[in-house]
Structure 1
Amino acid sequence: MYTPPSARVSAAYRQVDLSSQVMSASPHGLISLLFTELRTCLVGARDAVARKDVTAKVRLIGKASRLLDEGLIAGLDMRAGGALAENLHSLYSYCLVRLTQANAQNDAAVIDEVLKVLQPVMDGWTEIGNQART
């Protein structure tokens, strides 16, 4: 498959930008980046289901699942986090199961459900960052 040079250059710049954001981010900022990318993947996967683009759907749901598992779940401190960490672990694990179902069933409504379930956590995380800056 041919990719125009301008698309390759643009992708390279996006990768460098993301790498610099990660390298300079605080721990709170890293989680914010994970949430931002997770939301982008979920919206993209939902749109891919609507377009019947199976390749994009599988890629985006796979990436969203990795962000949940290897980023958000792996980042939980179960010992220090107590009940909050346990609840987040349960929520993220539920979302992983639902994304697997959405992928298998080509169900955009399930992807919307995952977005809806995660939205309060994402909003709360953003609010924590806003309060810390003031």
Structure 2
Amino acid sequence: MNKPYQTYQQNSVQTASPGELTLMLYNGCIKFIKVAKKSIENKDIEAKNTNIQKAQNIISELMVTLNLDTDVSKQIIPLYDYVYHRLVHANTQNDVEVLDEVQGLVEEFRDTWKEVIKLNRQQKVSGVN
């Protein structure tokens, strides 16, 4: 039954632009943080740990894919590093408040990235490079 959905998801990832893939990573990270918060509330430590580690893996992936030749990337890397370490803290301390903080930061990254994609599309449509 899940086969059509899995196929759709796989095709979405395979046909996405690099910008859209980054957006998917942000959304995935937010999803895993939300599941981890619910897991803490439900005292499901294994699920909390698994989902925080998934969020950490996404932040790590975002860090290693940055082009460090740009000033923006050099400014973002310490923010990603902060988020990563806060996730570690939240995991070891079962701290929902820290997860709220981190979720807010990742949502800001995502929302900013959405604007970048939107502006990029507008420039392509208007022929500005």
Query: Would you call these one fold, judging by a TM-score over 0.5?
Result: yes
Report how many aligned residue pairs link the two structures: 122
- Cα RMSD over matched residues? 1.4
Secondary structure at the aligned position of 1:45 is classed as helix
Q: Percent same amino acid among aligned pairs? A: 29
Q: Which runs of 4+ in 1 moved over 4 A?
A: none
Task: For structure 2, list consecutive stretches of 5 or more residues without a partner in the other structure.
Answer: 123-129
Match of 1:39 among 23, 26, 30: 30
Q: CA deviation at 1:49?
A: 0.9
Q: 1:14 to 1:53 in 2, by over 3 A?
A: farther
CA distance in structure 1 between the partners assigned to 2:5 and 2:97 by the alignment: 30
- Deviation per CA, 1:65-121: give whole Å up to 9, x if none: 00110x210110001x22x11121101111111100100001111111101122222
Residue 60 of structure 1: aligned partner: 51
Residue 68 of structure 2: aligned partner: 78
Residue 125 of structure 1: aligned partner: 113
Query: TM-score of the superposition, structure 2-length normalised?
Result: 0.87
Q: CA deviation at 1:130?
A: 2.4
Task: For structure 1, list consecutive stretches of 5 or more residues without a partner in the other structure.
Answer: 1-8
Query: 54-63 or 113-122, which moves further after superposition?
Result: 113-122
Q: CA deviation at 1:62?
A: 0.6
Q: 1:65 to 1:13 in 2, by over 3 A?
A: farther
Residue 11 of structure 2: aligned partner: 20
Q: CA deviation at 1:16?
A: 2.8
CA distance in structure 1 between the partners assigned to 2:84 and 2:103 by the alignment: 12
CA distance in structure 2 between the partners assigned to 1:107 and 1:32 by the alignment: 26
Q: CA deviation at 1:42?
A: 0.8
Q: CA deviation at 1:27?
A: 0.9
